[in-house]
Amino acid sequence: MLTSVTFEDGVTRILLDDGKVNAMSLEMLTEIATRLEEAASHGGPVVVQGRPGIFSAGFDLRTFARGPDASLAMVRAGADLILRFLKHPRPIVTVCTGHAYPMGAFLMLAADVRFGVAGNWKIGLNEVAIGLTVPHFALALARHRLSPPGLARVSTATMFEPVSAQQHGYLDQVCEAADLQPAIEAELQRLKALDWPSYEATKKRLNDRIADEITAAIQEYRPGRAAA
């Protein structure tokens, strides 16, 4: 298994840990989607957390090397997971425990609340640096969440340390390691007190337009170094 899940005190906690760098392969993406389905049946907020030192190294580059069919399946699974985050009926809290490259950064941008741990980590969208064009669905999500300066830096593949990542919209709160868990628990208590019908209706209003834009963009996506 590439993930594990626990259900306790009204909270679902999903841990991403493939023993390496949490590359977002088709298998990892599918497993996270399954965990979210399980979370929906339990209700309550969801915490998605990486292993120490890494949230995710992004899409699995080995899959891109396998050709267009494998690449298309993986990227579409990634876009589908973004949509699941945006439409999930309860708040999703991501905990960035280290580096976060796309597709890991995409998941944070699709979450309701984003925590990060202080450290010498790199967070952002670096496709241009590795010979890839940022796909339209990812740019749509970036426009939805990032600050204007943060969005402008996507074209230069800029990676940010946590405090700068917070300033640009990738994170909401950066904590020292010793303070991280208490801060998460305090936020979860606040979230659990929300009125769920009001939350669901407001989240839908916030995210429906971007979800529609992502859906349309992924239908046109074709893998390649200058993919749409």
- Domain spans, the chain: 3-177+189-219
Whether the per-residue pLDDT at 227 is higher than 60: the answer is: no
Helices (H) and strands (E) in the chain, counts: 9, 10
Angle between helices 26-42 and 68-87 (to 10 degrees): 20
User: Looking at 23-32, 79-88, 126-135, which range is the least confident one?
Assistant: 126-135
CA atoms within 13 A on the CB side of 117: 21
ω before 28 within 30° of 0 (cis)? no
DSSP codes of every residue in 19-61: SSS--B-HHHHHHHHHHHHHHHHH-S-EEEE-BTEEEE--B-H
Q: What class does CATH assign to 3-177+189-219?
A: alpha beta
- 3 state SS of 188: helix
- Identify whether the C-beta of residue 119 lies closer than 8 Å to the C-beta of residue 162: yes
Task: Give the model's confidence band at 224: pLDDT under 50 very low, under 70 low, under 90 confident, else very high.
Answer: low
Whether the per-residue pLDDT at 228 is higher than 90: the answer is: no
User: Looking at 21-30, 61-70, 101-110, 176-185, which range is the least confident one?
Assistant: 61-70
- Once rounded to an integer, what is the mean pLDDT over residues 3-12? 97
Task: Give the residue among 115, 80, 110, 78 at the shortest CA–CA distance from 94.
Answer: 115
Q: Is the dihedral of CA 47, 51, 57, 61 positive or negative?
A: negative
pLDDT at 218: 86
Report the predicted TM-score, pTM, of the whole model to 2 decimal places. Answer: 0.95
